[in-house]
Each structure stands twice: as C-alpha cells, then as structure tokens.
Structure 1
Amino acid sequence: MVLSWHHPPPLLEIGGRDHAAYLALYLTLLVLLLTRKELIKRRKELVRRLAIVVVVVQQVAMYSYHLTHREGLEQGLPLHVCRVTSLVGLVWLLTGADWAMQLVFHFGVFAYGSLAYPWGNAPVTHAMGWSFAVNHVVTLLLPVLAAVTEEWWPTREGLVTSIVAFLGYLAVTDRVNQATGANYFYLRERPFLQGLGRRGSIVVGAVGGCAVMAGGYAVSRLLARARG
C-alpha cells in the first residue's frame, strides 16, 4: 500500500474500518507483549533498539510532512500531548531514566482517549494516519514494556511530578495557542464542551487532566495489588 502524502489529509470515520485497524494494531502488540514476556526479557536490548528506530522514523516522517507542506507553528510544534509524550519516551529508551517513564505513563493516559476517539485524524491510506497510530500505540505500550522488562511501576511521586509538569505544559500551550492561533491540547476547538471560553477551557483542561492522570495511577495500583 502506497501511503498518501497529500495535504490536507482526509478524515477517518470514527468507528469505521480505519479506526478499527488502529485499535487492532494496539491490541495485537499489547497481547504479544503480555504473552511473550520471557522472550521480550531475553531480547529486551533488541526490542529497545527497534522501538528507538520506530519512534525516530515516526518523528522524522511527521515533521517532514509539516515542513513539506509549509505548515507553520500552529501545526508543526511538538506541543500536542502525544508528541511531548513520545519525545519523553525516546529519552527513556535512550537513558532508562525513571522520571521519563513516570511522565510517559501519566501523560500517556490521554492517548487512550485519542485512540478510542481519534477526532480530526487521518485514515490508514495517509502517512499522517499511520504517524498518529504509531505515535499513540508506542506511547501506550512503552509503560507495558518497562513493566515487563524492568519490573517498573508508576509511583505517587511520579504522579505528583507529572501533575506539576502537566500544569506547566498547559500554561505554555495556552500562550502558544494565543500567539499562533494553534489548537494544542484542543484548548480552542474540541469535539465536546464547545461553549467554553479560554479560561473555562484552561480550568477544565487542568482539572480534567489531573483527574485523568490520577485515575491512571489508581488503576495501576489496583493492577499491582491484583498481581501480588
């Protein structure tokens, strides 16, 4: 299949064939991670290097698309939360730093929503569609990989650090949105709660974002207890 590079990309149908393909990609890789733990532990260095290549190729392809079509700061900055998370994920792959994985896990909880409801994203026939899929799937699977290969788990300190980092991210994002007309973190346009003004969007984003990350941490603790 030759991927389209045209601009602007067409929009996928939520709940349609393309959306199902992205979900199938995530679920297939998740099952492989969970059912081939011993193999992945033995080959963790190979898996790490492969993941680095995938992340770098995805980043290069995505920003090449923005540059090719001369999209400005309102589209081409690494300020969507999934883009921030994938870059921090790359830091973890290169260094193994715990703080990086704490951020990947807690920021990455948002990716579940994006993958479940990929509003404004492209189908499988477009390069930006696969860029979206790879970005989000890798973001969601890196904490699983860390848990399988390093016995890693989210911590309360990691949650607090992630909340502070998120509030800082939100402040920067709001300033950039105001300066460029961008829609990072969907603070200006979104598929729901469309009547909110700027301040309302920031408040809802801050409260909702912190709640989402706290919910992700709570679920991780339940899983840890169930695992024993």
Structure 2
Amino acid sequence: MKTIDDFRQSDCRFLMNNYDSPIELAGEVYPTVEHAYQASKTLNSYDRDPVRAAQSARRAKRIGRSIVLRPGWDAMREDVMLGLLEKKFSSANKDLQAKLLATQSASLVSGGDTFWGEVAGAGDNRLGNLLMKVRAGIVKASCDAINTANRTYLQTHGWTRNTEGDDVFIECWVPSWNEDCFFDLDSAVHYQNKMNIEVLSTADEMGLLEVDVDVDDDVDDDVDDALDLVNSVTYYV
C-alpha cells in the first residue's frame, strides 16, 4: 500500500490543517481548519475572535494554547476535527475533494506530534486516520448515489428485484423478458447498457436519430456515450 507521510510536499499540502480553505463555524468564516479547530476550544466569542483574526494558522494555534478549554474538550476534540475536515472536503469544495480522492487507497500519515500524527514511526496518527475516514465517506456516498441511480435505471427498463436470488447474488435483479435469468446489480446494468447500445445503433443506422452513435467492439468504452445519448437524442415522431 502506498503511504503519504509528508504533507509538506507541494502536492500534498492540501492535507494540512494550515492549508487555505475557508471553514464556517457558528456563523463565522475561518481561514483554515486550524483556525476553526482552535476557536472550537471555547464557546466564548470574545476568545474566538482573536483566533479568527490571526494572520496565520501558526499564530491561531499559539493563541489557542492560551484559551481556557470548554468542558469535555478532550473527549470531543476528534469529533470536532472530523466535522471540520468534512466541511473542508465537502462537495462545496470540489477541487479539494478531488485531490483527496486522488490519493486513492494511500495510507495518510501526518507528522509533527504523536497524537495527531507520528514521529519516527510512533504515534496515533489521529489526523491521518480522520482524513482517510473522510475519504472513505465520500467514496461510499458516491457509490450509494450511483447504485441508487442504477436501480432507478433498471426499473425504468422493466427490471425487478428478486430477493429469492439474493442467496446467489448480494442484490439479485431479473429482466421482465426472462424471469429465470438472474443478475447482480452491476451485471444487470452492464447488460442493459449493451442492449441500449444495440437499440440506438439500429435506430441510427435507419436514420431515426439526429445524433450519431459511436459504437465499436468494446462495449465498456461505449457505455458512457450510450448513457449520454439516451439523455440527449431527438426522436422523429
């Protein structure tokens, strides 16, 4: 497994809490996650304001060290950090989200201390673990959205769920034209895509479409084109 353990590298600085990324907290916008995290140590706006106004994340951290901690801070600080990271890498910040996803399955290891990171290979790496948790959450949400769309897509084309087949497939689907034929979700979508490509290709050859269909021997490469075409073609009526 690939490991990213130096967030100071130019292409990894976005993983650091001092990276410029406005974060909203209690109706106020903070320049970085570090600013917002330090301000979260207190509910007193009088103490928060200097943190928010700090010219750098380092300065915000220094101010935060002098803040009287809110009750229960040690028990909640990881949840606070997680919430701030989720905001930083939310869909509202698509560029940062894309950069985080581009790390793929790499192990993310922060440095600097033994609580949030590791020093000389020793430490809890809480920040790195939270970053990987946020990354996994984004991936899961996108997969869930795709699967939801795929289910709607299959139902539109007459497919139905067959729970009796779930002992064979995790999620069994059957086409209306052959109820004895079982597919898992991904295979059903692939099969329906192939059928749609054939239907659209035939219609295109007959001059029934105003959009050309790009079809070759590789069905997988044509799936996206076919799906785009389904949504964009103009039919003669």
**TM-score, length basis structure 1:** 0.25
Higher relative contact order (CA 8 A, sep 6+): 1
Query: Normalising to structure 2: TM-score of the pair?
Result: 0.25
**Structure having the larger proportion of residues in strand:** 2
More helix per residue:
1
